[in-house]
Amino acid sequence: MPETVKPDYRIGHGFDLHRLEPLAPEGEGRPFVLGGVHFDHPLGPVGHSDGDALFHAVTDAILGALGEPDIGRLFPDDDPAHESEDSRVFLDEAVRRMQQAGYGISNLDVTVICEKPKLGSAREQIEGNLAEHLRCATDVVNVKGKTHEQVDAIGQGKAVAVHAVVLLKR
Ligand code: MG
């Protein structure tokens, strides 16, 4: 195999979805957290870690851009070490690998699909959290929210889904 030159730019896409259930003790839902921000909501994500679908999608976008193993391979959900894990740990590991490979964030675009809760003023807080962890300016981080128009499980409020697209530059 010929030695490949590291490309100047690398693009990555990440996707994550978590089922939403009533909070414990009524159900197995964890407190609703998205991008490191807690929302007051009667339902929360079911997951092995803290269930932060936004941080999971961004983590996978960065790992994907680098051609590294995805979040499920790095942090298997049957590993008791990551039970209830703060998802910032996953994101920070992706950023560590990004910096080690000699890349930084060019820009990040995130779409949250969720019927409730509304992102509202938390949107800017999430962008700030992302910029802090990704070591970049907030103006290259974009987060937007959409509903699923009451269609299918996401539209019925039974799940939250997140897409993330990131561009890395050397
Ligand atoms: Mg996840």
What would the mean pLDDT of 83-98 be, rounded to a whole number? 93
Please give the span between the terminal C-alpha atoms of the chain, in angstroms, as a whole number.
23
> Alpha-carbon torsion 43, 80, 54, 159, what sign?
negative
CA of 4 to the centre of ligand 1 (A): 32
CA of 145 to the centre of ligand 1 (A): 18
9-169 has which CATH code?
3.30.1330.50
CA of 8 to the centre of ligand 1 (A): 29
Residue 111 CA to residue 123 CA, distance in Å, equals 11
CA of 45 to the centre of ligand 1 (A): 9
pLDDT single digits (tens) 26-76: 999 999 999 999 999 999 999 888 999 999 999 999 999 999 999 999 998
Looking at every residue in the chain, the average pLDDT score rounds to 95
Inform me whether the pLDDT recorded for 5 exceeds 70. yes
Inform me whether the pLDDT recorded for 24 exceeds 80. yes
CA of 160 to the centre of ligand 1 (A): 10
Q: Supply the pLDDT for residue 47.
A: 87
CA of 2 to the centre of ligand 1 (A): 36
Residues with CB under 5 A from ligand 1 (ion): 16, 56
Q: How many CB atoms lie within 10 A of CB 5?
A: 6
| Residue 66, CA atoms < 13 Å, CB-side half-sphere | 23
CA of 87 to the centre of ligand 1 (A): 9
Percent of the chain residues past pLDDT 90, beyond the cut: 85
What would the mean pLDDT of 95-117 be, rounded to a whole number? 97
Which band of pLDDT confidence, cut at 50, 70 and 90, is reported for residue 105?
A: very high
Inform me whether the pLDDT recorded for 18 exceeds 70. yes
Which band of pLDDT confidence, cut at 50, 70 and 90, is reported for residue 85?
A: confident
Nearest to 167 by CA among 136, 145, 146, 144: 136
Question: Is 85 or 97 the better-scoring residue by pLDDT?
Answer: 97
CA of 135 to the centre of ligand 1 (A): 22
Inform me whether the pLDDT recorded for 1 exceeds 70. no
What would the mean pLDDT of 108-133 be, rounded to a whole number? 96
